[in-house]
Amino acid sequence: MQTENQLKRLSKFMSLVLRHQPELIGIALDHAGWVAIDELVTRANAAGKPLTHACIREVVATSDKQRFAISDDGLRIRANQGHSVEVELGLAPAEPPDVLLHGTARRFLSAILREGLVKGARHHVHLTTDLGIAGAVGRRYGELVLLSVAAARMRADGHVFYRSDNGVWLTDMVPPRYLEVLD
């Protein structure tokens, strides 16, 4: 059993290698972002990052954001979304709710209202229906600003949405006309 701080560090490390830099420890993600848990454990330990099957399962089970998924056969793991490396998660287009939320920092607001929400280095813009999650995400970067996204209107106008396995809503971008700052 790991402490909360140990689990947080392991989750950050797993996010780094499963979403952004698998080459850091010499693993290769398959086309859908999966890697064998045995290989992840072996390569992480060889790189000086103590990781076990039990630690991985504990991180997956206790993650409030459910960042990772273990395959049905229990042999592979991947990040649910947020990749900056090329992967195809195999998500089908989904009908979004009328309104979705996005938390950000006030210092980004003028650029967002001018350019919209852009995916940057990631594959998609991340949105949620959960006010608490949107707030937690936005607070990570500074003074919180919550944005409402007119998702149903976007969808009607031809924008495509996906829903990841952990319930995060994904889209390529959100033009400014679909955004509203919540007070």
CATH number at residue 177: 3.20.170.30
Same domain, 73 and 147: no
Rg (CA), the chain: 17
Domain count, the chain: 2
How large is the average pLDDT for residues 30-49? 93
The last residue of a domain, from among 79, 108, 141: 79
Same domain, 106 and 60: no
Per-residue pLDDT of 67-107, as tens digits, reads 898 999 999 999 887 777 777 777 889 999 999 999 999 99
Residue-range definition of the domain harbouring residue 105: 100-182
How large is the average pLDDT for residues 130-144? 90
What distance in Å separates the CA atoms of residue 146 and residue 137, rounded to the nearest whole number? 10
Residues 6+ apart with CB under 8 A from 50: 44
